[in-house]
Copies of this chain bind each other. A is one copy, B any other.
Amino acid sequence: MVKDPNGSEGPTLAQVSESELLEGIFPLLPGGHGVLLGPGDDAALVAAPDGKVVATTDAMVRDRDWRDDWSTGADVGAKTVAQNLADVAAMGAVPTGLLVTLIADPATPLAWVHDFATGLAEAAREAGAPVVGGDLSSAPPGMLVVSVTALGDLEGREPVLRSGARPGDVVAVAGSLGRSHAGWRLLERGVPGRAPELVDYHRRPRPAYRQGPLAAEAGVHAMLDLSDGLVRDAGRVARASGVGVDLSREALQADVAALAGAVGEEMAWECVLTGGEEHSLLGCFPAHVPLPHGWRRVGAVVGGEGVTLDGQAQGPGGWDHFAG
C-alpha cells in the first residue's frame, strides 16, 4: 500500500501489470453483437452494415476538463462517453463501438481507474455502445488523460451535416440548455447543494442520443451537438450553411427560468446562450415538417450570416481551446 498524490491510500497502477489491470476492467465493459472482435488482439473488428463508418474522437484532461475534487472517476468515464456519442448522434447515426485510451501517471490509484471504467461502462451500456478496444499508456507525474474514439452506423440514412441549413428552417433543440455550465458555476461558487441536479448534469451530461437518428429520419437539414455553447455552435451551422440563425428570446425563456433560481437571471441567460458541455442536439428542420417528439423550437434560419437573438447580433461566446 502506498500513499497516492491525492492523499488516499490503496494500490496504484504501478503495483499491477498491464494484463492484470485489463483483466480487472474488461469484464466491466459492455460488448455487443456488432463487435466481431473485441479487445485483446492487434485491433478490433466492428460491423459496419451501412458500408460506411462514422468516426469521431474527443479527449478529456485532468485539471482542464475535470477536477478530481468535483468529479469522480465514474463521472469522467460517463462524460467522455457522452461527448463522443453526442457527435455520433449529431450525424444521424447509432453508436457501434468505443475505443478508450487511458494515459495515466503510474501513481494513479487503481480505485480511480476502476471507478472510471464503471462509469464509462454504465454510460456506454445505456447508450448501446460496446467498448471494442483501447490503449493504456503511462505518463509523467500528475498526468491523467482520457481519449475516446466512437464509431457509428447510419443504418442507410444520409449523414446530417452542419452545412444543410436553409433560410426558413426551424432551429430546434433536443435536450436541455445551460444546465452543465450552471452546475459548473455552482461548483465554482462552492454552493453545489443549491441545485444538485445541475451539478449532476455538469458531471454526467445525458444527451438525447436517440434524437439524432430520429431527426435524420424526419428530414432534418443540418445538425450538431452543443459542445461549446448555443451561440458558438449555432454560428458553426450558420457559417457552414452560408446562412444566419436568429434565436428567439421568448422560446428560450423556459430554459432560462429553469436555471434562474439557482444562478440568477443574468447568469441563466449566459448559461443558456454560451454554456458549453451540454451535448444536446441542435437541428435545422424544414418548416413544413412537424418537429419530432423531444425537439422544441428555439429560433429560425434566416438570410445573412452569424447568430442573432431577436435580431440582435451576438458575439461568438463559448469556448476556444487554446485562447490565451
Contacts and interface: CB of A to CB of B under 8 A. Distances in A.
In the A-B complex, the 8 residue pairs with the closest CB atoms: A48-B48, A43-B56, A14-B324, A147-B147, A42-B90, A149-B149, A42-B87, A57-B99
A290 to B, nearest CB: 24
A324 B105 CA distance: 11
Contacts of A99: 55-57, 149
B54 A103 contact: no
Interface stretch (A16-24, A116-124, A176-184, A295-303): A16-24
Contacts of A225: 42
A61 to B, nearest CB: 5
Interface in A102-155: 103, 106, 132-140, 142-143, 145, 147, 149-152, 154
B54 A51 contact: no
A321 B137 contact: yes
Given A41-B161, A55-B133, 18 more contacts: A14-B324, A16-B322, A18-B323, A42-B88, A42-B224, A45-B52, A53-B151, A57-B134, A59-B103, A60-B137, A61-B143, A62-B140, A64-B137, A103-B147, A106-B322, A138-B321, A138-B322, A140-B143
A6 interface: no
Contact of A106 (B17, B135, B324): B324
Contacts of A145: 103, 139, 143, 145, 147
Contacts of A61: 103, 137-140, 143
A65 B17 contact: no
Contacts of A240: 40-41
B320 A18 contact: yes
Contacts of A64: 137-140
A162 B41 CA distance: 6
Given A43-B93, A57-B101, A21 B138 contact: no
Contact of A324 (B15, B21, B87, B136): B15
A17 B316 CA distance: 13
Contacts of A143: 61, 140, 143, 145
Interface of A: 13-18, 21, 36-37, 40-65, 86-88, 90-91, 93, 97, 99, 101, 103, 106, 132-140, 142-143, 145, 147, 149-152, 154, 159, 161-163, 223-225, 240, 320-324
A288 to B, nearest CB: 25
A49 B50 CA distance: 9
Nearest to A163: B41
B56 A152 contact: no
Nearest to A132: B55
